[in-house]
């Protein structure tokens, strides 16, 4: 079998793979990305957080994103029955970007991958990685678009295969998530929101009026379309009759505010999709000759739109470890990659837990919120989950619990 050789091989050209490739190209590394699909391809994860702009900027990809004309985003709005609140990401505790975009991922991922090719990374579409042998020089078994199989060996392997979770599956690194299994039904619609009633610059997260653990996302795009989805345990979704379109429409119909906003929507652009059991964990984020990036490593929950930001952060940390490796330094991947990445993931995890337990809602809808505390919460919602100056990052959940108790009184 033919064997090729490169410096860094990356599995997957999604956000994690593309940003890692761009950062490595800036260091002058030889980079090969193997991507199973032909782009553009549909993907979920459309609401970005301002923290992600820093990584796009560092990777030299920001201009491509800005010029692609995505929907500007400056915050998040929340609704539950008659309660409303919103966060403007520019009014936050941590320094850094306060605005970002809401993106159709088919286009966004293609913009990034194309820019990365221009920067000199080789991207091979419809080349699927079938098997991996980790070690000093990891070796991959690949099937090309024409069916031919070949091998690639590299100095280092970054698994950015997302929900494909290739290495966790092949190397049996998967460990159960401590979140219950949840599923999402979602689609894109021509939204026709009533004039002046929807701030397109914000994602809207709506809690189901009768079920605190069921929620909807509404993510407006440019050109009058929006992404609409509901998240619930599968048994809840299965209670509704008909196909997934009818289920989604029926559940949306139970919320008066969302029904009003979507009264004139045209549901004609995409089939309703379903994804279930997406929360995932691993026993190790790195091993001999490899590291897991983005969703290939861990995925919490979509409620705070943290997925792409975590994917970018992992790419940034991994590329920095590789820079040091090529400079002749000894890199301890557990210490220098896994632990720093997990710090922010832990922050998001506590917020996700508080969301499903209902405590987070008590905080955000509280009528007398202290402005400085709200700015700290806003920082996390904007993705600054690694800023240890923020007491809600540094702390082990105690502060959030205390705040919940104060807001429940």
Q: Show the binding pattern over residues 18-37: x = contacts ligand FAD (CB under 6 A), - = does not.
A: ----------------xxxx
Residue with tokens 């069921």: 214
Q: Which long-range contacts (CB under 8 A, 24 or more apart) does 131-136 make?
A: 131/170, 132/157, 132/159, 132/166, 132/167, 132/170, 132/171, 132/290, 134/167, 134/171, 134/287, 134/288, 134/289, 134/290, 135/288, 135/289, 136/288, 136/289
User: Which member of 61, 152, 311, 363 binds ligand FAD (CB under 6 A)?
Assistant: 311
User: Which member of 54, 64, 104, 128 binds ligand FAD (CB under 6 A)?
Assistant: 128
User: Which member of 236, 278, 337, 348 binds ligand FAD (CB under 6 A)?
Assistant: 278
Tell whether residue 220 is a contact of ligand FAD (CB under 6 A).
Answer: no
Tell whether residue 319 is a contact of ligand FAD (CB under 6 A).
Answer: no
Tell whether residue 138 is a contact of ligand FAD (CB under 6 A).
Answer: no
Tell whether residue 289 is a contact of ligand FAD (CB under 6 A).
Answer: no
Containing 53, the helix (H) or strand (E) segment is helix 51-58
User: Which member of 302, 338, 360, 390 binds ligand FAD (CB under 6 A)?
Assistant: 302
Task: Output the smallest distance, CB 326 to ligand FAD, in A.
Answer: 23
* Closer of 228 and 407 to ligand FAD (Cβ): 228
CB-nearest residue to ligand FAD:
162
Give helix then strand counts, H and E, for the chain: 16, 19
Residue 276 contacts residue 255 (beta carbons within 8 Å): no
The two tokens of residue 22 are 């761009």
Tell whether residue 177 is a contact of ligand FAD (CB under 6 A).
Answer: no
Tell whether residue 46 is a contact of ligand FAD (CB under 6 A).
Answer: yes
- Beta-strand ranges (E) seen in 104-214 are 122-125, 128-133, 139-143, 149-159, 174-175, 183-190, 202-207
Tell whether residue 347 is a contact of ligand FAD (CB under 6 A).
Answer: no
Task: Output the smallest distance, CB 35 to ligand FAD, in A.
Answer: 5
Residue 184's nearest CA partner among 206, 226, 217 is: 217
* Closer of 144 and 256 to ligand FAD (Cβ): 144
The span of 38-46, 192-200, 234-242, 398-406 binding ligand FAD (CB under 6 A) equals 38-46
The two tokens of residue 174 are 């998967």
Residue 232's nearest CA partner among 253, 262, 207, 249 is: 207
Which residues bind to ligand FAD, rule: CB under 6 A? 11-17, 34-37, 43-48, 128-129, 160-164, 166, 184, 275, 278, 294-296, 299, 302, 305, 307-309, 311
């Amino acid at each position: 079998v033919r064997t090729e050789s490169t410096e860094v091989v990356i599995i997957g050209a999604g956000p994690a793979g593309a940003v890692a490739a761009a950062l490595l190209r800036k260091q002058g590394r030889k980079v090969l990305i193997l991507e199973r699909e032909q782009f553009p391809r549909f993907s979920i994860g459309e609401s970005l957080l301002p923290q992600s702009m820093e990584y796009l900027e560092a990777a030299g990809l920001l201009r491509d994103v800005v010029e692609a004309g995505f929907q500007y985003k400056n915050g998040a709005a929340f609704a539950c029955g008659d309660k409303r609140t919103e966060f403007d990401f520019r009014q936050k505790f941590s320094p850094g970007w306060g605005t970002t975009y809401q993106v159709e991922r088919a286009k966004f991922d293609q913009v990034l991958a194309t820019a990365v090719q221009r920067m000199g990374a080789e991207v091979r579409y419809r080349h699927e990685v079938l098997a991996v042998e980790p070690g000093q020089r990891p070796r991959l078994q690949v099937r090309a678009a024409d069916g031919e199989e070949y091998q690639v060996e590299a100095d280092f392997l970054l698994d950015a295969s997302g929900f494909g979770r290739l290495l966790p599956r092949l190397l049996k690194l998967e460990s159960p998530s401590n979140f219950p299994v949840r599923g999402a039904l979602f689609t894109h619609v021509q939204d026709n929101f009533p004039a002046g009633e929807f701030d397109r610059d914000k994602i809207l997260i709506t809690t189901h009026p009768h079920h605190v653990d069921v929620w909807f996302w509404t993510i407006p795009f440019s050109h009058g379309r929006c992404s609409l989805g509901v998240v619930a345990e599968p048994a809840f979704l299965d209670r509704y009759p008909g196909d997934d379109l009818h289920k989604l429409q029926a559940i949306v119909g139970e919320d008066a505010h969302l029904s009003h906003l979507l009264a004139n929507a045209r549901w004609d652009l995409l089939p309703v999709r379903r994804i279930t059991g997406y929360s995932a964990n691993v026993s190790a984020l790195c091993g001999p000759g490899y590291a897991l990036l983005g969703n290939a490593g861990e995925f919490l929950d979509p409620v705070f739109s943290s997925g792409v930001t975590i994917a970018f952060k992992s790419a940034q940390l991994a590329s920095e470890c590789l820079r040091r490796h090529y400079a002749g330094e000894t890199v301890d991947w557990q210490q220098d990659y896994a632990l720093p990445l997990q710090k922010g993931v832990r922050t998001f995890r506590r917020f996700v837990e508080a969301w499903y337990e209902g405590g987070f809602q008590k905080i955000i809808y509280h009528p007398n919120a202290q402005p400085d505390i709200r700015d700290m919460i806003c920082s996390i919602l904007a993705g600054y989950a690694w800023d240890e100056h923020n007491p809600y990052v540094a702390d082990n959940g105690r502060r959030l619990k205390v705040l919940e108790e104060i807001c429940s009184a």
